[in-house]
Amino acid sequence: MIEASKLRAGMTFEADGKLIKVLDASHHKPGKGNTIMRMKLRDVRTGSTFDTTYRPDEKFEQAIIETVPAQYLYQMDDMAFFMNNETYDQYEIPVANIKEELLYILENSDVKIQFFGTEVIGVTVPTTVELTVTETQPSIKGATVTGSGKPATLETGLVVNVPDFIEAGQKLVINTAEGTYVSRA
């Protein structure tokens, strides 16, 4: 059991038969009354997000999440297909559950699949990935690194703000936690 005051972003717990992932957690001390925990949560199975509050001493059953190395194979209709790198088992995950993660992975990319017991619940992508720019405004002659930047569309459909000197066709290193440009590859 884990207390609400100990829950942090990224942790997963069980409540009312649901598997809940913490997106954001903060202490709040109103002018009058007791301290509460404000939380932004996501139901792992349905993908719905919601805000709620808990008393700091409320207890929850912490979920044991296991990860397995896998490879992203392809997407067909509303399902994404992955293969376990060790056993060659294949897994299907609804695209709706992992649409944010799919913006950072290409076919044959290595990822980690998250399991709750035998149930596949999600995908963990590497902290940085290399993606190619497919579309951006033309570079400006004399542009420097300190410019304000411009939007660039990457091969997965992700749009990030990049420096003015970046051109279509260049490979970039992207931070997956923040969805930001890091450097040229």
Domains 66-124 and 128-184 agree in fold: yes
User: Residue 144: what pLDDT?
Assistant: 57
Mean pLDDT across the chain: 85
* Cβ–Cβ < 8 Å for 12, 44: yes
Q: Which residue has the tokens 């997956």?
A: 176
Give me the mean pLDDT over the 95-107 stretch.
86
Q: What are the structural domain ranges in the chain?
A: 2-62, 66-124, 128-184
**Domain 66-124: CATH architecture, name and number where available:** Beta Barrel (2.40)
In this structure, what are the phi and psi dihedrals at residue 6, rounded to the nearest 5 degrees? -95, -5
Name the 3-class secondary structure at 110: strand
What is the dotted CATH code of the domain comprising 2-62? 2.30.30.30
Give me the mean pLDDT over the 11-34 stretch.
84
pLDDT tens digits for range 43-68: 888 778 889 888 888 898 888 889 89
Give 142 or 70, the one with higher predicted confidence: 70
pLDDT tens digits for range 127-174: 888 888 888 887 666 655 556 788 888 888 889 888 888 888 889 898
Cα within 13 Å of Cα(8), Cβ side: 1
Q: For residue 135, give every residue at least 6 positions away whose Cβ sits within 8 Å of its Cβ, in sequence order, or none.
A: 152, 153, 168
Task: Quote the tokens at residue 182.
Answer: 């890091």
* Cβ–Cβ < 8 Å for 102, 112: no
Q: Compute the Cα dihedral for 79, 177, 111, 133 and give only its sign.
A: positive
What is the dotted CATH code of the domain comprising 128-184? 2.40.50.140
Vertex 140 angle, CA 135 and 143, to 5°:
115
